[in-house]
A and B are shown apart, each in its own frame.
Chain A
Amino acid sequence: MALLELRDISKRFGGLQALSLVSMKIEEGMIASLIGPNGAGKTTLFNTLTGIYRPDQGEIRFKDRSLVGLKPESITGAGISRTFQNIRLFSHMSVLDNVLVGMHTRLDTSLVDIFLATKGFYAREKAARTRAEELIELTGLRGRENEWAQQLSYGEQRRLEIARALAAAPQLLLLDEPTAGMNASEAQSLMRLFRDVMGRYVKAILLIEHNMRVVMGVSHRVHVLDYGEKIAEGVPDEVRRDPRVIEAYLGTGDWLKNARS
């Protein structure tokens, strides 16, 4: 049984068919990549998956439960969490608090506990803090806990987003262009982080990525979107040689033929 299964997802914005009949399966233990030219519908697919948009048709099944129509917070509660392409941290909150917000669904302190500051409240807060510090350590942000998120550098902010998403204890982690704007060595260390996280913290990762070195380096499976349609799927080497993929990225090549003749 697949961890996540999308069946014939379509989403339309006015005259634009952003997604049409996209299907895919993500198995446990898999790092999958979603690639495609700009505007192919990758982020729309993420937003549909996480409940920000509701699909016009199609079915999303996660651990054999339908996610269509659920609110984003319920989908996070079910075990999917994500990062954002354009970083969306809580800028005026500390690094630690950013991660702790991610634990909201896993912290079941009631209002009574909070008002009375019961032992249970302190115990849970302390446990949450310990776990948050572990994630901060994992993402290499140790020592920055009390700084505001907006004071971190760009690369650190990207890593904090990952720590925050992991705090929700997801089984499936969605990463939207995690290495965007990073140099080669930063991207390398992030790839190591993905492999560390797999199995230990999450059961599967789906990432949107433009950096082909990262895609080919970490993915077990690659899905390719173009104009809202899935045009190819396979192991990295297959996809790299797929003529439809090459065409989507580089064009039809007619001008080459024309130039030759």
Chain B
Amino acid sequence: MNRSLALIGLSLYIAGSCVLAYFFPQSVLAFLLVEGSLLLLYYTPVSGRVKSFFAALVLLVLLPILGFTNAYYFEIAIQIGIFVALALGLNIVVGFVGLLNLGFVAFYAIGAYLWAVFGSPQANQFIAGGWFPLSPNWFFVFLILSIAVGALTGILLGLPVLRLRGDYLAIVTLGFAEVVRALVNNLDKPINLTNGPKGIAPISKPPLFFKPVLEFFGVQVVDAALYPLYFYFLVLLLVFVIILVTRRLENSRVGRAWKAIREDEIAASAMGVPVVRMKLLGFAVGASFASAVGVLFAAKQVFINPESFTFMESIGVLAMVILGGMGSVPGAILGATGVTILNLQLLKGLSLWLNGLRQSGAVLSIPLLGDLSLANLPAQFEPAKYERMVFGLILIVMMIFRPQGILPPTQEPKK
């Protein structure tokens, strides 16, 4: 009885929010309600199969339809997907193995540059023959390749620093990320490998291999309109695979060994856990996720430069993992989604709204202080400038009142 009520409520909520978003394509609030449906679904007391059905409905059918009313929805969804993938990768290193990594974005940059250099005319600068850019079909080869390259760089970073712990390791990873950034920033001389601070463009997009099929069915395809949808599904697929791999690792001897190392390294090794190998594996798996999603990012952006891979990006992903709840897969997903929505939609929306108020010359009546016309506010009070401050305040408040994160790992009964 309770279950069917919950199901009806959930269906009504999803339908209602989608209708709202469909008819008010510019409304941030309506789209937030749609996004909220997934969170609601997570908490609805229904079986796993029903949950997967609803999640598939929302992600595979409803969101793509809404995306055609407002292409910005795709952009947001893709960004969320990218950060979810990064957060899940970092969650393995920080949340499972317990190694603080402040330079995670380096692996993301390595993946992005891997495809950017060879998927654009850039590689012609140092490989003669004019073979580049490689045909878009190579995108998928590079996606696989990036997993291997990411894993390898993860191990290369891991090997010399495994003896370090805690703060010391964090500093080394920070240094590593700065080295990677400085390299891509300066490797335009003597051989132009990365084109330095000018960045690389245009980067090939993945092939529209399904286009002939669509045309066969008489669908008129405009490439520019199709790409957002295409990237959306690519990101969705990548995130799905990453979640699957993470889940399986977590519930295997590897995941247990990782957590054991996090809890007590000496006890773990005394129980037969090969600490060095397991740490390297954690580094490798996390780095390969970031590297793969980097390839996707480069292809989506068409243009990348070292500015996309700053220290603040690493900290941002770390904040997502910590806000969501370290060591928890649902937590990392929620943290990444929440922070991305906050940055792209909520804080931007708040700024726009406040600016609108300012320009309309609204008057605030404050008792005792008299009337305050918002139009007279000096430019220093421009709300857009306070986005990061609001984000910072949220971090502070969260850490004081819920340091374990929104969805920390729980003691779930095992089946």
Known A-B contacts A100-B253, A101-B268, A104-B271; A93 and B414 likewise in contact (beta carbons under 8 Å): no
Instruction: Verify if A97 is at the interface (C-beta below 8 Å from B).
Output: yes
CB-CB under 8 A from B327, the residues of chain A are: 92
B302 to chain A, nearest CB (A): 32
**Residues of A77-105 whose CB lies within 8 A of B:** 77, 81-82, 84, 88-94, 96-97, 100-105
How far, in angstroms, from A23 to B249 measured CA to CA in the complex? 44
CB within 8 A of B412: which of A84, A102, A146?
Answer: A146
Contact with B along A28-40 (1 / 0, CB 8 A): 0000000000000
How far, in angstroms, from A109 to B257 measured CA to CA in the complex? 13
> Which candidate, A11-19, A111-119, A196-204, is the interface stretch facing chain B?
A111-119
CB-CB under 8 A from A117, the residues of chain B are: 248
How far, in angstroms, from A109 to B254 measured CA to CA in the complex? 9
**Residues of B249-298 whose CB lies within 8 A of A:** 249, 251-254, 256-257, 259-260, 263-264, 266-275
Nearest A-chain residue to B408, judged by Cβ: A92
Give the total number of A-B pairs whose CB atoms are below 8 A apart.
98
A52 lies within 8 A of B248 (CB): no
Known A-B contacts A88-B264, A91-B263, A146-B413; A109 and B256 likewise in contact (beta carbons under 8 Å): no
A114 lies within 8 A of B259 (CB): no
CB within 8 A of B249: which of A73, A76, A114?
Answer: A114
CB within 8 A of B273: which of A52, A101, A109, A146?
Answer: A101
A104 lies within 8 A of B257 (CB): yes
Contact with B along A98-139 (1 / 0, CB 8 A): 001111110101010011010001000100100000000000
CB within 8 A of B254: which of A89, A93, A114, A167?
Answer: A114
Known A-B contacts A50-B270, A72-B270, A102-B272; A90 and B263 likewise in contact (beta carbons under 8 Å): yes
A52 lies within 8 A of B411 (CB): no
**Residues of B126-149 whose CB lies within 8 A of A:** none
CB within 8 A of A88: which of B245, B266, B272?
Answer: B266
Chain A interface size range? 35 or more
Known A-B contacts A93-B260, A101-B257; A121 and B252 likewise in contact (beta carbons under 8 Å): yes
How far, in angstroms, from A145 to B245 measured CA to CA in the complex? 25
CB within 8 A of B267: which of A71, A90, A100, A114?
Answer: A90
B259 lies within 8 A of A146 (CB): no
B252 lies within 8 A of A109 (CB): yes
B77 to chain A, nearest CB (A): 27
B253 lies within 8 A of A96 (CB): no
Instruction: Verify if B316 is at the interface (C-beta below 8 Å from A).
Output: no
Looking at chain B's contact residues, the main secondary structure is helix
A208 to chain B, nearest CB (A): 15
B270 lies within 8 A of A93 (CB): no
B259 lies within 8 A of A92 (CB): yes
A93 lies within 8 A of B263 (CB): yes
How far, in angstroms, from A5 to B138 measured CA to CA in the complex? 61
CB-CB under 8 A from A71, the residues of chain B are: 269, 274
B98 to chain A, nearest CB (A): 10
CB within 8 A of A97: which of B254, B259, B269, B273?
Answer: B259
CB-CB under 8 A from A97, the residues of chain B are: 256, 259
A89 lies within 8 A of B267 (CB): yes
CB-CB under 8 A from B272, the residues of chain A are: 73, 76-77, 81, 102, 104-105, 168
A157 to chain B, nearest CB (A): 12
Contact with A along B44-79 (1 / 0, CB 8 A): 000000000000000000000000000000000000
CB-CB under 8 A from A94, the residues of chain B are: 411, 414
CB-CB under 8 A from B273, the residues of chain A are: 73, 101, 104
17 residue pairs A–B, Cβ–Cβ below 8 Å: A71-B274, A72-B266, A73-B269, A73-B274, A89-B263, A90-B259, A90-B267, A94-B411, A101-B256, A103-B253, A107-B253, A115-B248, A121-B252, A125-B252, A146-B413, A168-B271, A168-B272
Across the A-B interface, give the 4 residue pairs with the lowest CB-CB distance, nearest first.
A76-B272, A105-B272, A90-B263, A88-B267
- 11 more A-B residue pairs beyond the given contacts A107-B253, A147-B411, with a C-beta to C-beta distance below 8 A: A50-B270, A73-B269, A89-B267, A90-B268, A92-B327, A94-B411, A94-B414, A100-B253, A100-B256, A104-B256, A104-B257
